[in-house]
């Protein structure tokens, strides 16, 4: 009985770790995309002002 509960608990903790890692990775990807878009917008604005 206790072994079965332990396995379920271990499985739940593993799932939580995987989901939190995936969420953190997703946030990092979103930051990268925002940074790239901001850089492109700044370059475009500079080109418009220069030309």
pLDDT tens profile 1-38: 667 888 999 999 999 999 999 998 888 888 888 999 99
Decide: pTM greater than 0.75.
Answer: no
How far apart are the C-alpha atoms of 25 and 17, rounded to whole Å?
Answer: 12
> What is the total count of domains within the chain?
1
Q: What is d(CA 18, CA 28) in angstroms, rounded to the nearest whole number? A: 15
Query: What integer pLDDT is reported at residue 14 of this predicted model?
Result: 94
Range of the domain at 35: 1-51
């Amino acid at each position: 009985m206790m072994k079965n509960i332990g396995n379920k608990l271990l499985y739940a903790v593993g799932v939580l770790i995987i989901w939190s890692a995936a969420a953190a990775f997703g946030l990092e990807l979103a930051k990268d995309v925002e940074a790239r878009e901001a850089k492109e917008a700044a370059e475009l604005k500079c080109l418009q002002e220069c030309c």
